[in-house]
């Protein structure tokens, strides 16, 4: 067993969070991950309070283990979904795409452990001061919204900056990544791409096949021009987007419009032409559709073996 504060304080069996991915991380997947000993996370994505409340309650019927909710702070429904979290009090709330400080008091009063995703040391420091239990330092290898720093450089710098636990994310899909994350100063990991091909993940089969067929250089970052870069698997959509992004006659508004609904087309409809298949660089390390339990157990069997073998590196 891995000796981690995530195990002792959050009641997990393994120090692993399943990332909150829009159109992917719904109650079934979150419950499967939590039942397997990790922390499953429901994504509130861009939907309203009713959707999130339904998902939280559904998850409670599927597991008696702790689970979390991910709030995307740029959501048009952020205020109402933040309120749902305060009322339903999941064990953990993770946040992305901004500073959650406005909502933290309510969440903390409800006894929720708030764990924001941070792409820089400054953000980490600000959320620590606001009462975060831990931070998720997510490097640019990850899928979806990405920052500039890599996991290798971000995790140790955040660990040096804050006194709260650091969870590493971005590019981690096996026991080697998890063991390395701990060497970098993390107490655990968050994985998104690794769970895209979980048997319990309801994402369209075409999405899973895109991940399974992906090679190491098959992801691309788009949207930097708009200030919110995202990593996804190359396809006709990304080709078209990149062309428009570098076309000076294409306005920011037109570019923005091009991306609207593209993730839903990928995740729900499996539209290989017009969908945006968000995934991290670790997609080429995902080789099979497996139950969440198997994904987690395989990962941590390897992590334990590697960490136990660490003395072999020292004479």
Partner 1 sequence: MNTYETIAKLLAEQKDMDANDIRPDMTFSDLELDSLDVAELVMNLEDELGVPVEIDESLRTIADLVQKVDAGKA
Which residues contact partner 1 (rule: CB under 8 A)? 73, 97-99, 101-102, 119-123, 125-126, 129, 147, 227-228
Residues 6+ apart with CB under 8 A from 281: 141, 142, 171, 216, 219, 231
What residue ranges in the chain does DSSP mark as E strands?
16-18, 40-43, 67-72, 92-96, 113-118, 135-138, 144-145, 166-169, 188-191, 219-222, 230-233
CB 109, min distance to partner 1, A: 17
CB 299, min distance to partner 1, A: 30
Of 288, 162, 280, nearest to 232 (Cα)? 280
Q: Which is nearer to partner 1, 101 or 274 (CB)?
A: 101
What is the spatial distance between Cα 178 and Cα 191, in angstroms, rounded to a whole number?
10
Q: Which is nearer to partner 1, 120 or 274 (CB)?
A: 120
Looking up tokens 């970098």, which residue turns up?
184
Q: Which is nearer to partner 1, 68 or 147 (CB)?
A: 147
What is the spatial distance between Cα 260 and Cα 283, in angstroms, rounded to a whole number?
23
CB 293, min distance to partner 1, A: 36
CB 81, min distance to partner 1, A: 16
Phi, psi of 222 (to 5 degrees): -125, 165
DSSP characters over 31-88: HHHHHTTSBEEEE-TT--HHHHHHHHHHHHHH-SS-EEEEEETT-TTHHHHHHHHHHH
CB 120, min distance to partner 1, A: 6
Q: Which is nearer to partner 1, 37 or 100 (CB)?
A: 100
Q: Which is nearer to partner 1, 9 or 148 (CB)?
A: 148
CA atoms within 13 A on the CB side of 274: 10
Phi, psi of 133 (to 5 degrees): -75, -35
CB 99, min distance to partner 1, A: 5
CB 125, min distance to partner 1, A: 6
Q: Which is nearer to partner 1, 16 or 78 (CB)?
A: 78
Within a 10 A sphere around the Cβ of 153, how many other Cβ atoms? 14
Q: Which is nearer to partner 1, 98 or 185 (CB)?
A: 98
């Amino acid at each position: 067993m891995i000796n981690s504060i995530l195990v002792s304080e959050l009641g997990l069996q393994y120090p692993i969070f399943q990332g909150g991915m829009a159109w992917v991380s719904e109650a079934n997947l979150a419950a499967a991950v939590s039942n397997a000993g990790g922390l499953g996370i429901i994504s509130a994505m861009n939907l309203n309070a009713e959707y999130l409340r339904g998902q939280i309650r559904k998850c409670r019927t599927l597991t008696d283990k702790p689970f979390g909710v991910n709030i995307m702070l740029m959501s048009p429904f952020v205020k109402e979904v933040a309120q749902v979290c305060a009322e339903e009090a999941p064990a953990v709330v993770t946040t992305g795409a901004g500073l959650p400080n406005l909502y933290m008091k309510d969440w903390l009063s409800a006894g929720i452990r708030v764990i924001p995703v941070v792409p820089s040391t400054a953000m980490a420091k600000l959320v620590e001061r606001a009462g975060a239990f831990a931070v998720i330092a997510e490097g640019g290898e990850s899928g979806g919204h990405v920052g500039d720093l890599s996991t290798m450089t971000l995790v140790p710098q955040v660990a040096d900056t804050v006194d709260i636990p650091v969870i590493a994310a971005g590019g981690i899909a096996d026991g080697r990544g998890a063991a390395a994350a701990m060497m970098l100063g993390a107490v655990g990991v968050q994985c998104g791409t690794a769970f895209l091909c979980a048997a319990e993940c309801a994402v369209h089969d075409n999405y899973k096949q895109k991940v399974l067929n992906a090679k190491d250089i098959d992801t691309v970052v788009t949207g930097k021009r708009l200030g919110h870069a995202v990593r996804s698997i190359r396809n006709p959509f990304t080709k078209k987007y990149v062309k428009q992004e570098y076309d000076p006659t294409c306005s920011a508004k037109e570019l923005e419009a091009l991306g609207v609904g593209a993730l839903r087309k990928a995740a729900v409809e499996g539209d290989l032409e017009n969908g945006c298949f968000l995934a991290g660089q670790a997609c080429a390390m995902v080789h099979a559709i497996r139950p969440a339990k198997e994904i987690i157990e395989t990962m941590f069997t390897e992590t334990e073996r590697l960490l136990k073998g660490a003395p072999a590196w020292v004479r």
